[in-house]
Every structure is written in C-alpha cells, then in structure tokens.
C-alpha cells in the first residue's frame, strides 16, 4: 500500500500540463492550455487544461478531473498505478509491498494480463543479459544491428530462449495463472501441453503511450522456412494492433516538440533513428496503417512524413495509407531513401546531421511524390497518364478541407501539365459518385441557412440544479474571499407589507453562504451537490489556506469529476477565443458580492415559488373535499409567500 505522504508528494510535484502534454499536443490559451480531445475524434479543440487549478476538462466527452483522473481514464490505470507512474516520471521514491499469491489471484483480468506482460518483459531482458544463449545469440544480433547497450536497455529488448517452455515454466513458478499466459498469447496451450509462442526469438516489447507493455514482436534468428520471420502477440483485451504504434511512448514528446512525426515500417527503423538522435519516429509494426493509429498521431501533431525503403516493392500499396492520413485532415510528406537503403541502414551509416539534412531536402509533398513515382510507369502512354491523374485526384478527394483541395488541384495541374478546369470537373464527378459532394453541400447549408432551420424545442432548465451548481462554483472559486455584503433583513412595515432593509457587513463568502442557507433551513436537492457542499464547508471552515487542487485530490473520483466540470465551465468560452472576435465575457471576480447575494436570493425566490405551487395544489384538493372554508388559512399563507416573493423579485430587478 502506498503511504499518504508519498501520495501527497506526488500531487504536490506533478504538473497537470506537463503530464497531459505527453499525451495531447497542448497550446497556450490565455492562462490555460487547449488541445484536441484524446477521448473523441474531433478536429477543433475542446480539451482544456488549467495549470492554476491543476485540473483538465474535455468538453466533447464531459470527462474531467485532476492528473490522476486523466491517467485512469486515458490509460486505464488503477489509482495506485497512476500514482506509481507519476512517481516514476518525477523521480519520487515510492514504497511498494510485494504482491502475495492471493493478491495476484484477486487482480482483475485486464490487470492480470498487464502483470503477466510486464513479467514476460523482465524475463526476456534477463535472458538476454544474464544467460549464455542470450548473450551469444540475442545480444550478438542486436550488436550486429549497431544497437548500443544504452539503446537496448531503453527499448527493453530481450530474448526468448530456444526452449519449449522456458517462459511458461518460470511464470507458473511465480504463481501467474496459465489462463492469463494464454490470453496474452505468450503461451500456447494444446490439451495438457503448454509451450512458449516466441521460442528462440529476439524480443521487441510493444508499449502503450504511457509505457505499459501491451504485447511483443519477436524475430526469429534461424533460417527455418516454415517459421515466420516476425511474429506478433495475438489480439487480446490489452493489445489491439490496429490501435498501437511501436515507439509512441518514446516519441510522443519529440513529436509534439518538432510538430512532425516520421512514420516507418519496422521496429529496427524506429530504434536506429532514436539512436541517431531523431526521436519523433514511430512504426505501424508491419501492419497496414489504420485510422486509429493516425488519430493517435493526430493528438500530437498535424504533420506526418512517411519514410519508404529505396527499393520497397510494396510502395504503391503503401500509398493507400497516405489516403487514410489525408482523410483525417492531416498534412503528408513522403521521403524515400537511396536504392538499397532503408531507414534503419541509412540512420546507422550516417550522422544525425546528415540524416536530418537528407530528410529535410528529400521530403516531398505527396502529390509531387506520387506523380514522380507513377510518371515513370506512364511515360508517354496517354492512357496510363490519364489513369495516374485520376489516381492523384482520388487522393485529393479524401481531403476534408475545400481550400486545401483547391490548392492541391492547382499543384497537380502544374505538375501534370493539364487544365485546372478538367481536374475540378473530375473531382466533382468523383465526389458525386462517392456521395461526398451532397454531404458537404448539406453541411454548408446547415452552416449558413440559419433562418430556414426549423426552431428546436427549448429544453426546460432545472432552475434549482443551476442555482445549486452556481453556489458550489462560488464556494470553490471565492470561498475564502472577504467581501462587503448588503445583508437584507425582512421587516414588516406599518401597513402590514413586508420589506427588505439593507445592512452592510464584511464576511467571507463561505460564511455568508452557510449562514444564509442555515437561516432558511435550505438543503441541496441534488445529492452530489449536497455531499460536495458539506465537504466544502468543512474544509473552508477548518483549513487556514484552502486550495482547490488539494480539495480535488482528496475527494472521491465522482465528486472530483463534478467539481472539475463546474470549475471549467466558465473557461469554455476561452477555447473559441471570443475576445479576438470582439465578444467580451464579464469576469466573475468583478462582482463577487453581488453574485453571491443574487444567487442566494434567486434560490430563496425559487423555493418560495415552489411552496406557493404546493399550497395552491393543496387548496384545490381541500376545496374539492371539504369546501372553501377549510382552505382559508392556507390561502392566507399563500398571500404571505406572494408578498415575500414580490419583495425578492424587486430586489432582483425582476418583473413579476
């Protein structure tokens, strides 16, 4: 169990903008940061991070919380795992008790699979560095590839002994269940026999963006004809190859910093680039590129440079991946290496400066690249040239942005020496055929044809919910602020009418709220707000220096999510930078005392109105059952409440 002092130390040290910056490309927006949601597929930023409050909010999915909540949501960490991850990131020592066999058995299935994968990773590394076959075969192979000891250690490379059950036997001896060894694909079970999937292979662990081991890639070193050269872990609850990029955990910061991602094909390409000093590189691990993998990169940058081998036979097939990238609204460049070279060999044989210079000078726009590649095939054949042009136009049609489409068509017309009108006509025909044109026109119509839209039915606002939420917001933001309040004392005048007389006095916001609600015996109707309010008043009353971030870190995850939503709601307009469009939003700090007073008055007025409605219903039922005489006292109460409501409405400048 992790001690409270360690947890407090982690929360004090960890910076939400630094941690989330590893997963999402964040850009400064006033006092906050904004970025694309990592929880949904979007093209405009709705994700906001507040360094001051040390919280985040994703307006597209509704999720929010502190730094630990993000890791639990995004990486599916348990609470202790999130704390351990942050402790490791910031170099904080953390006490861990060794898991007993019973604790291992109690871990849920998904977590058990992670534990098995982590154990396997350590086992394969131990084999590589501590056993004679590992040193002679595995380590020698990696050294032949030119990998240094530091690189081998960084990428946690390993070796699976050329024995049928070396790993399986060791894992079972350490009390890991055969069920999870099989589910992760590390062990193959046939009847009563079990054997290692990766027998006799050098091992490349595949990590998630946060660094958790999801699966493995294994390369065979013998020349067995029946055995696959590379073997990957099968699909499982924790490993989905279409959603994973090899090296993303090592590359994420460099990708965001450089605002570009190099995309290669193999494990060794990634490793060799890193060793050369270029770290913004990932691999699709030999699988065809998928939309999920592209979206993973899209969280960090809009720019991808695809790197191809100089003699890659499947370049044309690989170009389909470029169309997928274009569909996601990203910018694509392509770079090929000299004949006989690939990213691995070129990086190995050149310095970082030479490699960087080559990439910069030889990366081409995808149209220029596609044209130069396919024109060689077309040569002087008009039919083939026409087919090539259609191929390029088809790629351009994938781009969601109309302006970008037009620019690319103009570039294509220049390169291919063909009329722009012909290309625009071809694009229109293609869009019509695919049904894209109608969809885009409909989208534009909806954007501009506001007047003709049918009016949407107005959603009924839950006034009490909104008022209670506003009280929580005021306590969170300004609870300890001292303000001068106009206290309103209800007095009866000579003519029998009620009036509120003004009395000014200074007090803290939380004291004002608490005393006013206590005086009227007002309890929160919303159970979540009721619990948060109770916790807030206790903390504000007992702590000398109340800090929102400390408060969030010490309440339940459900409460923290609710609090985050309340706090970040007022920040949402900053995502759209309304002030640049001459739309200025009044800040709450300008009128704290007035806001507090008006909110409490509004709540009182709402509850009085509710009481009047209840009494009115009671009068109707009594008149029907007992006659008008029995309802006179209730009618008198209604008149008193109506007079009080009138006074409150006048104070709030509302028309009754």
**537, 630: one domain:** yes
Residue 601 has a pLDDT of 83
At 404-431, the pLDDT tens digits run 888 888 888 888 888 888 888 888 888 7
**Of 196, 222, 239, which one is at a domain's C-terminal end?**
239
* Residue 244 in domain: no
Collapsing DSSP to helix, strand or coil, 292 comes out as: helix
452: confidence class by pLDDT, cuts 50, 70, 90: very low
At 572-615, the pLDDT tens digits run 554 445 444 444 444 555 578 888 888 888 888 888 887 777 77
* Residue 148 in domain: yes
Model-level pTM? 0.67
At 275-297, the pLDDT tens digits run 999 999 999 876 788 888 998 89
Q: Which of 38-52, 127-141, 216-230, 634-648 has the lowest mean pLDDT?
A: 634-648
Does the pLDDT at position 443 exceed 60?
no
Residue 157, domain CATH: 3.90.980.10
**419, 530: one domain:** no
* Residue 444 in domain: yes
**595, 497: one domain:** yes
Number of neighbours of residue 570 by Cβ within 10 angstroms: 13
* Residue 283 in domain: no
* Residue 135 in domain: yes
Query: 265: which 2 tokens?
Result: 């094909």
Does the pLDDT at position 231 exceed 70?
yes
* Residue 600 in domain: yes
Using an 8 Å Cβ cutoff, are 246 and 283 in contact?
Answer: yes
Does the pLDDT at position 449 exceed 80?
no
Does the pLDDT at position 656 exceed 60?
no
**421, 553: one domain:** no
**505, 616: one domain:** yes
Residue 584 has a pLDDT of 44
When the pLDDT of each residue in the chain is averaged and rounded to a whole number, the result is 82
Q: In what order do the strands lie in the sheet with 158-160?
A: 158-160, 201-207, 213-220, 230-232
**469, 606: one domain:** yes
**557, 631: one domain:** yes
Write the DSSP assignment of 483-502 as a string of letters.
EEEEEEEEEE-TTS-EEEEE
Q: With the CA atoms of 473, 477, 482 and 487 taken in that order, what torsion angle do they form, in degrees rounded to the nearest 10?
A: -10
Using an 8 Å Cβ cutoff, are 210 and 71 in contact?
Answer: yes
**Of 404, 424, 448, which one is at a domain's C-terminal end?**
448
Counted domains in the chain? 4
At 46-58, the pLDDT tens digits run 899 999 888 999 8
Query: 193: which 2 tokens?
Result: 């026999």
Q: Which of 340-354, 465-479, 542-556 has the lowest mean pLDDT?
A: 542-556
Q: In what order do the strands lie in the sheet with 364-365?
A: 281-283, 261-264, 303-308, 331-336, 364-365
* Residue 554 in domain: yes
Phi and psi for 14 in degrees, rounded to 5?
Answer: -65, 135
Average pLDDT over residues 509-528: 86
Residue 197 has a pLDDT of 96
Query: 316: which 2 tokens?
Result: 């044309």
**16, 77: one domain:** yes
Domain that holds residue 490: 464-573+588-651
Does the pLDDT at position 505 exceed 60?
yes
The helix or strand, by DSSP H or E, that contains position 648, with its residue range, turns out to be helix 632-651
Query: β-strands 364-365, 482-492: how paired?
Result: unpaired
Highest mean pLDDT among 82-91, 115-124, 251-260, 417-426: 115-124
Separation of alpha carbons 341 and 339, rounded Å: 6
**139, 202: one domain:** yes
**444, 525: one domain:** no
**Of 187, 204, 239, which one is at a domain's C-terminal end?**
239
Residue 17 has a pLDDT of 93
């Amino acid at each position: 169990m992790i001690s409270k002092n360690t947890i407090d130390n982690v929360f004090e040290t960890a910076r939400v903008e630094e941690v989330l910056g590893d997963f999402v490309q964040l850009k400064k927006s006033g006092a906050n940061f904004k970025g694309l949601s990592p929880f949904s597929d979007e093209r405009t930023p709705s994700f906001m991070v507040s360094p001051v409050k040390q919280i985040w909010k994703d307006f597209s999915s509704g999720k929010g919380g502190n730094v630990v909540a993000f890791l639990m949501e995004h990486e599916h960490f348990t609470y202790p795992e999130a704390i351990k991850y942050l402790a490791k990131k910031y170099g904080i020592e953390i006490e861990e008790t060794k898991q007993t066999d019973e604790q291992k058995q109690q871990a849920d299935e998904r977590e058990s699979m992670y534990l098995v994968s982590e154990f396997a990773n350590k086992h394969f590394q131990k084999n590589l560095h501590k056993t004679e076959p590992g040193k002679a075969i595995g380590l020698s192979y990696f050294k032949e590839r030119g990998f240094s000891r530091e690189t081998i250690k960084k990428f946690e490379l390993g070796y699976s002994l050329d024995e049928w059950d070396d790993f399986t036997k060791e894992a079972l001896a350490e009390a890991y269940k055969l069920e999870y060894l099989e589910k992760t694909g590390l062990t193959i079970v046939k009847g009563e026999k079990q054997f290692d999937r990766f027998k006799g292979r050098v091992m490349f662990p595949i990590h998630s963006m946060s660094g958790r081991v999801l699966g493995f890639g294994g390369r065979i070193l013998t020349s067995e004809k029946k055995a696959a050269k590379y073997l990957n872990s099968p699909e499982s609850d924790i490993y989905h190859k279409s959603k994973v990029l090899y090296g993303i955990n090592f590359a994420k910061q460099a990708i965001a910093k450089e605002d570009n991602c190099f995309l290669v094909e193999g494990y060794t390409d990634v490793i060799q680039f890193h060793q050369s000093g270029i770290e913004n590189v990932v691999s699709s691990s030999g699988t065809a590129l998928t939309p999920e993998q592209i979206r993973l990169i899209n969280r960090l940058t809009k720019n991808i440079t695809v790197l191809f081998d100089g003699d890659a036979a499947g370049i044309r097939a690989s170009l389909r991946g470029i169309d997928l990238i274009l569909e996601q609204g990203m910018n694509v460049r392509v770079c090929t290496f000299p004949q006989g070279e690939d990213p691995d060999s070129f990086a190995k044989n050149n310095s970082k400066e030479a490699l960087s210079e080559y990439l910069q000078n030889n990366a081409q726009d995808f149209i220029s690249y596609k044209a130069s590649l396919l024109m060689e095939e077309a040569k002087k054949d008009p039919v083939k040239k026409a087919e090539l042009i259609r191929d390029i136009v088809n790629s351009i049609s994938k781009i969601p942005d109309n302006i970008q489409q037009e620019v690319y068509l103009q570039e294509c017309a220049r390169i291919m020496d063909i009329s722009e009108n012909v290309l625009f006509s071809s694009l229109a025909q293609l869009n019509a055929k695919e049904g894209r044109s109608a969809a885009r026109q409909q989208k534009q119509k909806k954007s501009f044809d506001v007047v003709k839209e049918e009016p949407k039915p107005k959603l009924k606002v839950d006034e009490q919910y909104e008022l209670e939420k506003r009280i929580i917001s005021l306590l969170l933001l300004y609870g300890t602020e001292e303000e001068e309040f106009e206290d309103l004392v209800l007095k009866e005048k000579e003519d029998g009418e009620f009036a509120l007389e003004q009395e000014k006095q200074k007090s803290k916001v939380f004291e004002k709220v608490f005393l006013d609600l206590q005086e009227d015996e007002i309890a929160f109707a919303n159970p979540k707000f009721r619990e948060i309010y109770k916790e807030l008043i206790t903390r504000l009353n007992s702590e000398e220096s109340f800090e929102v971030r400390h408060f969030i870190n010490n309440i339940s995850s459900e409460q923290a999510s609710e609090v985050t939503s309340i706090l970040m709601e007022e920040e949402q307009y900053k995502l759209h930078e309304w002030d640049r469009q001459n739309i200025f939003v009044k800040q709450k700090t300008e009128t704290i005392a007035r806001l507090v007073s008006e909110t409490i008055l509004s709540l009182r007025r709402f509850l009085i109105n509710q009481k009047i409605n209840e009494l009115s219903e009671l009068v109707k039922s009594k008149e029907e059952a007992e006659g008008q005489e029995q309802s006179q006292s209730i009618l008198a109460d209604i008149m008193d409440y109506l007079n009080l409501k009138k006074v409150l409405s006048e104070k709030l400048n509302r028309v009754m």
